[in-house]
């Protein structure tokens, strides 16, 4: 390196330090201007007085740090993020401000300081080429600083957001479980505020789950995202309520100001069209605190049927599906239910393709008021085919159905919903 070139480098470093020193003399004013600019440009940063004050402290801490690095030619990688900047990132995480607003603030701050630097350097009585070199040197350091510090504050933000959400969700889940338990009087308005969900409205409860195949916490994130998108598709009137039941299962509620007859159908259609849908069980819509609880109980009952019956996943069933509510009543005593179904249906309870067709035909025949014509229309079969199958079903049962028709219908419902859990592979 020639002496002339060395002198140029020394001159650039000196002017960089001089420019930083001049800006440092106006540190408070510069920081205040940047803070006001960020508030105007980024609406998400407009919070309460405490948050705004912390924004000012964060800006001043960052400006002071970068000016010190420029004045003393400090390596950016050795600079730590100001304490106020880290605390501000934590506060934004707690308030649910998107992380992109935080990153954008640093970029906007970089732009503001760059403009100030250009103004200061223009005022220097030096050669134009030296001015350009000074601006380039400061610009490079500013870029490195913003890149380095923004990485640090984003990590702090994400850690705090995860911790905050976990604590908030834990508290929310506790409150929801208290509401569901109904063991003490509930102040419905206080509970609404606590869980951030309108308990006085109409509710449609859901239970959602993925197969537990070594799943991790990420399944809960998928369930929450699914519920949010489902709420939008089903035209819920407010944000849905989500509570984690375990690492692969979530409870959800959709709220409506008035009863929505199409809600269950909308939920089912949305879930069935999604290739990544979890299994979903759906309660019935009901109003108020009692409806909030009842709809959840119904969704739980439907899930118990899905689990006990080994339904193929993903399953989508609703408490209002024909026969489901009756089947749910027996889900906790499936062994006795299987014995009872065998006593009622005889050999018709065998797990075979032929008996399955006979059970379906007999069930449809009974449901249509013992009308061969009605059953034929529903099944798309000829009248004589239905009559033949019903006769074969009665023969397989081993006795007429006139005396205990209700028992036969209930036993057929159990076979429909529980499948192999109640069917037999050989005659009793």
pLDDT, tens digit (0-9, with 9 covering 90-100), for 200-217? 999 999 999 988 655 455
Residue 50 predicted with pLDDT over 80: no
Are 92 and 157 in contact by the 8 Å Cβ rule? The answer is yes
d(CA 253, CA 294) in angstroms, rounded, equals 12
Q: Is the pLDDT of residue 7 over 50?
A: no
Tell me the pLDDT of the chain averaged across its residues. Answer: 88
Per-residue confidence band for 4, with pLDDT thresholds at 50, 70 and 90: very low
Higher pLDDT, 218 or 406: 406
pLDDT at 167 (0 to 100): 65
What are the structural domain ranges in the chain?
3-164, 197-319, 330-421
**What CATH number was assigned to the domain covering residues 197-319?**
3.30.70.120
Which residues, at least 6 apart from 29, have a Cβ–Cβ distance to it below 8 Å? none
* Beta bridge partner(s), residue 262: none
Question: Residue 6: what pLDDT?
Answer: 41
Positive or negative torsion for Cα 3, 8, 12, 18:
positive
Find the distance separating the first CA and the last CA of the chain, reported in whole Å: 100
Per-residue pLDDT, averaged over 45-54, amounts to: 80
pLDDT tens digits, residue range 74-103?
998 888 899 999 999 998 988 778 899 999
Contact indicator for 157, 105 with CB cutoff of 8 Å = no
Model confidence band, residue 331 (pLDDT cutoffs 50, 70, 90): low
Residue 333 carries which DSSP code? G
pLDDT at 176 over 50: yes
Q: With bands split at pLDDT 50, 70 and 90, how would you rate the model's confidence at 238?
A: very high
Residue range 3-164 in CATH 3.40.50.980: no
The per-residue pLDDT for 5 is: 45
CA dist 179 and 174 (Å) reads 9
Per DSSP, 43 falls in state G
What percent of the chain lies above the pLDDT cut of 90?
A: 50
Task: Please say if the pLDDT value at position 2 is more than 70.
Answer: no
Question: Distance between CA 329 and CA 415 in Å, rounded?
Answer: 14
Residue 216: the pLDDT is: 53
Among candidates 213, 232, 331, which has minimal Cα distance to 278?
213
Residue in this structure with the two tokens 């106006």, named with its chain if needed: 26
Helix (H, G, I), strand (E, B) or coil at 376: helix
Q: What's the whole-number mean pLDDT along residues 376-396?
A: 90
pLDDT at 19: 94
- Distance from C-alpha of 106 to C-alpha of 45, rounded to nearest angstrom: 12
Mean pLDDT of 402-421: 85
Q: Which residue has the tokens 């393709």?
A: 353
Instruction: Provide the 3-class DSSP secondary structure of residue 281.
Output: strand
| CA dist list (Å): 376 to 98, 322, 385 | 59, 19, 8
The whole-model pTM stands at 0.55
Highest mean pLDDT among 122-126, 286-290, 335-339: 286-290
Q: What is the pLDDT of residue 428?
A: 59
């Amino acid at each position: 390196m020639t002496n002339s070139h060395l002198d140029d480098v020394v001159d650039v470093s000196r002017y960089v330090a001089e420019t930083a020193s001049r800006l440092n003399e106006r540190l408070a004013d510069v920081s205040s201007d940047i803070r006001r600019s960020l508030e105007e440009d980024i609406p998400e940063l407009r919070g309460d007085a405490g948050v705004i004050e912390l924004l000012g402290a964060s800006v001043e801490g960052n400006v002071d740090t970068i000016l010190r690095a420029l004045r003393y030619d400090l390596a950016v990688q050795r600079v730590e993020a100001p304490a106020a900047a880290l605390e501000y990132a934590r506060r934004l995480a707690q308030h649910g401000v998107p992380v992109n607003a935080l990153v954008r603030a640093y970029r906007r701050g970089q732009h503001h300081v760059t403009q100030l630097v250009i103004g200061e350097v223009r005022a220097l009585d030096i050669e134009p080429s030296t001015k350009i070199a000074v601006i380039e040197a400061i610009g490079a350091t500013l870029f490195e600083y913003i890149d380095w510090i923004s990485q640090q504050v984003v990590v702090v933000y994400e850690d705090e957001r995860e911790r905050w959400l976990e604590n908030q969700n834990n508290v929310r889940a506790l409150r929801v479980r208290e509401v569901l338990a109904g063991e003490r009087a509930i102040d419905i308005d206080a509970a609404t505020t606590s869980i951030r969900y309108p308990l006085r409205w109409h509710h449609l409860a859901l239970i959602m789950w993925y197969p537990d195949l070594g799943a991790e916490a990420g399944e809960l994130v998928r369930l929450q995202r699914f519920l949010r998108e489902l709420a939008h598709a089903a035209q819920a009137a407010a944000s849905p309520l989500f509570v984690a039941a375990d690492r692969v299962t979530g409870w959800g509620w959709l709220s409506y100001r008035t009863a929505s007859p199409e809600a269950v159908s909308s939920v089912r259609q949305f879930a069935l069209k999604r290739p990544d849908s979890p299994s979903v069980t759906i309660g019935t819509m009901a109003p108020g605190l009692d409806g909030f609880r009842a709809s959840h109980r119904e969704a739980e009952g439907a899930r118990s049927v899905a689990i006990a019956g080994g339904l193929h996943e993903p399953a989508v069933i609703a408490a209002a599906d024909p026969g489901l509510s009756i089947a749910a009543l027996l889900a906790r005593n499936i062994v006795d239910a299987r014995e009872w179904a065998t006593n009622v249906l005889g050999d018709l309870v065998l797990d075979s393709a032929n008996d399955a067709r006979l059970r379906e035909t007999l069930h449809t025949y009974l449901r249509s008021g013992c009308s061969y014509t009605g059953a034929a229309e529903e099944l798309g079969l000829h009248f004589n085919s239905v009559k033949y199958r019903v006769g074969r079903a009665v023969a397989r049962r081993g006795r007429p159905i006139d005396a205990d028709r209700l028992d036969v219908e209930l036993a057929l419902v159990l076979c429909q919903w529980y499948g192999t859990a109640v069917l037999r592979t050989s005659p009793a």
